[in-house]
Amino acid sequence: MTKQVEQRLPQQRLQERRQRVQSAEMGMGILKALGRLGGAASLTAVSAEVGESTAKVHRYMASLSQEGLVFQDPSTQHYCLGQEAIQIGLAALRQCDPIRLGEPALKRLREELQVTCFIAVMGNKGPTILRFEEPGLPVTINVRAGSVLPMLWSATGQVFLSFMDDARIQGLAEEEFAHATREQRASLHGRNPVENLRKSIRAKGYAVINDTLLPGISAVASPIFDHNARVTAVLTALGASGGFDTGHDGRIVSLVTAEAANISAALGFDGRLPVTERKR
């Protein structure tokens, strides 16, 4: 083998490696485009989505079809995500646990804000705290992992009430209001105070309370959505009202809502709520 040939071989291997990487990136880009287009689309639509020619995308579709990642519907000629792609998606969904995915967020919030924070899910008796983090000098409160929170008087409960379509949750809220004290009732307004509360929180996208559940305690709560745009959990931060900024542009609201949005994205939420949720 001549010296020139020996020098060309590494360059050829490098070029081949680059081509393989580019091919893999293109294939993944096509699968992602199909996902964004709802899982089925015409060749023209997919080509436009990835910004490549139909001829090039068609070649990749043939390879993806051989691997079972896509198939072509004979009745519409649209390309659809195949069985292998579905299996990959199902495996990813099985890993979508909001508590597990939310643990790093709880630790970040605890360290950055030095406040108590937790993730709650909707249990049989109401919003139930599952994961709880406290700062080095915690605020003395009577809630811990396993505690059940009220629907109307906790920021966590207000988020569940506002973003979940569930007659049972509505019933819990109405029952709480019926047994509320005069001071508690005074914190809600209008002829239909429960519905007014729901509308207000949906408009903001998060809930805030000040001295409502516990005197001297304020809280901010934000919903965590799954891939079906359903509230699967709620992320909450709370602390002593004197040093706890609940302003819309404040650091606490910004960080809590951002962390909840990141967990939602990890669960597959694309940021779009159903039209019925937005209009109610």
Q: How far apart are CA 212 and CA 28, in angstroms?
A: 50
161 lies in the same domain as 137: yes
pTM here? Answer: 0.67
Whether 223 and 126 map to the same domain: the answer is yes
pLDDT category of residue 277 using cuts at 50, 70 and 90: very low
Co-location of 44 and 131 in the same domain: no
We report the CATH number of the domain holding residue 221 as: 3.30.450.40
Among 94, 127, 154, the domain-final residue is 94
The tens digit of pLDDT for each residue in 11-39 reads 667 666 776 767 788 888 999 888 888 88
| End position of a domain, from candidates 94, 113, 136 | 94
Considering the domain architecture, whether residues 150 and 21 belong to the same structural domain is answered as no
Supply the range of the domain harboring residue 9: 3-94
3-state secondary structure of 218: strand
| Residue 134: count of CB within 10 angstroms of its CB | 15
Same domain for 75 and 113, yes or no, is: no
Same domain, 170 and 271: yes
Distance CA 54, CA 26 (A): 13
95/61 Cα distance (integer angstroms): 28
142 shares a domain with 26: no
Tens-digit pLDDT profile for residues 179-192: 888 877 777 877 78
Residues 173 and 234 occupy one common structural domain: yes
Instruction: Answer yes or no: do 106 and 202 share one domain.
Output: yes
How many domains is the chain partitioned into structurally? 2
Asked if 217 and 211 count as a contact pair (C-beta separation under 8 A), the reply is yes
179 phi, psi to nearest 5 deg: -105, 15
Q: Round the average pLDDT of the chain to a whole number and report it.
A: 84
Tokens of 91: 């495996």
pLDDT in tens, 221-259: 999 999 889 999 999 998 888 888 888 888 999 999 999
Last-in-domain residue among 31, 65, 94: 94
